[in-house]
Amino acid sequence: MTRERWIEVGRILVTGLVALLYWRQLVPVQVLWAAVALGLYPLVKTGLLDLVRERKIGTEVFVTVATLVAVFNGESVAGAVLMVIILIAEFIAELNTDRARASIKALIGSVPQSALVRGPEGERSVPLGELRPGDVVLARAGEKIPVDGKVGNGSASVNEAPITGESLPKEKLEGDPVFAGTVVESGALDVVTEKIGGDTTFARIIALVENAEAEQAPVQKLADKVAAWLIPVVFVFLIAVYLVTRDVRTIVTLMIFTSPAELGLATPLVIIAAIARAARSGVLIKGGIHLEQLAKVDVMVFDKTGTLTANKPEVVRVEARGDAVPGPELLRLAASADRRSAHPLAKAVVGYATRQGADVPEPSAYEQIRGRGVKATVDGKAVLVGNPALLRENGVDVPDAAESGGETPVHVAVDGRLAGVVFIADTLRPGAREALARLKATGVKSIVMLTGDNASTARAIASGLGVDDVRADLMPDDKVTAIAELRGEGHRVAMVGDGINDAPALARAEVGIAMGGGTQAALEAADVALMTDDLAKIVAARAIARRAYRTIQENLFVGVGVVHVCGITAALLGWIGPIQAAILHLGPDVLVFLNSVKLLRVRIDDV
């Protein structure tokens, strides 16, 4: 309750009290007119500002005209009571909307305004605004981390739900990133500050959620347009009714039910609640327009590497060629030769050999050959690890290059002879198959995979996922073209990628969804950003979007359509008067509000 709110309460009480006294014939009509003028002041002010600045006739103008018509045509008490009830309705609507916005911040969380900093002079409490990058901040069990940074010392279990939406805490060790707004469940950390205040991931999430309300959904824009052209139609209708009935009470009653106020309330609160609910689940939706489009998507397009796959190559099998070098020895020699290489395939070989318990010694000689592989000496043996071209260039006979759909063959030669092949494949992202199946269950008609990989590898990955269409050997421009073709066929397309390499394709789709793991690139690259690389978050975002769109439809149909049609009918039949209409007018406001804010808490499947 702000000072302005208390002034509004006082205005309502004074106007209502004077109306009651006039009804009991305790004050003259002039006092009632003064009270009505006092009550109408904020409505007239808002109505005129909207009319001048936005060329919009809003509900305030309706209420003002209805009140004045009633007061100056012998219905003074009805006019005053009508105005008081409308003021109460407006007050409740504004108060509840403010509370809903406040509950969004509470739902997401908050960041401490001070931090315990360790310096040469010891530990001291410092206001957040005085922190600088490089400061070492202490975070102990039960406390919220106030900055973005890296763990400099210590270990702890950290609840990252405000950022990622994940309920299970993560173990943080030296060098691991941590985020402001997350909670240390157990242990203690020395955090080296990297970002503070508005630069933190948490602050960016809050800003995105708050600013998203400004990005109107198409249905919201439609409601505003309908309200704009409805007003002149309503005035013509009221004039026609008056010419037929000559009944001022009926006109005042009809003005209450023909007000377009609920059209303006039907969507914004739903958008606020849905975007906040998504943010709490680790999904950032950057506006109502993207929320509605996500609800209507019928084709989901996925990049392969790093999206459907984990982009972590793993050895799937080792094949020895001939009896000269057995499988375990082949793996040991290959891993030793690859030990100094930073190539992802080399890391996969070394990691697999280590897990198998193999001894992986340092090579005595090592050379990395760009685009080919490595040449090394291990235990006095000349070892080549790479593609067939590397072996042939070094005089090794490779009769037929090994091939396997979906797997990358790494050829190994020992002392000038082909010894065997290590097969490596990218692993599917955990839960990918289930996520795609659940998306189809929500009405997605087709799943398309786009990749720059060769067709055999792409088909092998897609075969186990339930993908409907595979397009391989694509350059970034080809992905944009593929999405344009799908949209040209009349489909509503969402593109899921890593938020960096797929940026052109993300921008071309109706909805771009970035897999980001909470990085700044993911926040900036797309319309929807996932705070973790979890495909289930896409299912959750889709479920929230569909529920929000359905809620908007309910608001428009029940809260606006049914109630207003019934009210207009009752007024034309003479069943109700202005006072009853004003009381009933509260119904749509309450229904719309309750139906909207339930999105913050109600259970939604797949979320």
**415 flagged as catalytic:** no
Query: How far apart are the C-alpha atoms of 107 and 279, rounded to whole Å?
Result: 9
| Catalytic option among 98, 199, 224, 303 | 303
Walk me through the domains of the chain, giving residue ranges and CATH numbers.
3-105+209-269+547-600 (no CATH), 114-197 (2.70.150.10), 295-309+429-541 (3.40.50.1000), 311-427 (3.40.1110.10)
- For the chain, residues with pLDDT lower than 70 are 1, 54-59, 62, 89, 92-93, 95-110, 162, 164-168, 205-231, 259-266, 401-406, 454, 499-501, 517-525, 559-560, 586, 589, 607
Query: How far apart are the C-alpha atoms of 228 and 555, rounded to whole Å?
Result: 19
66-94 confidence digits (pLDDT tens): 788 777 777 777 778 777 777 776 776 67
pLDDT of residue 422: 93
Q: Which of 61, 118, 116 is nearest to 86 (CA)?
A: 61
Quickly count: other Cβ atoms within 10 Å of residue 463's Cβ.
12
pLDDT of residue 486: 94
pLDDT of residue 417: 92
Q: What does the DSSP assignment read for 366-423?
A: EEEETTTEEEEEETTEEEEEE-HHHHHHTT---SS---BTTBEEEEEEETTEEEEEEE
Torsion of CA 315, 317, 322, 325, to 10 degrees: 50
pLDDT of residue 375: 95
pLDDT of residue 485: 94
pLDDT of residue 518: 45
Which residue type sits at 2? T
Give the predicted TM-score (pTM) of the model: 0.71
pLDDT of residue 223: 54
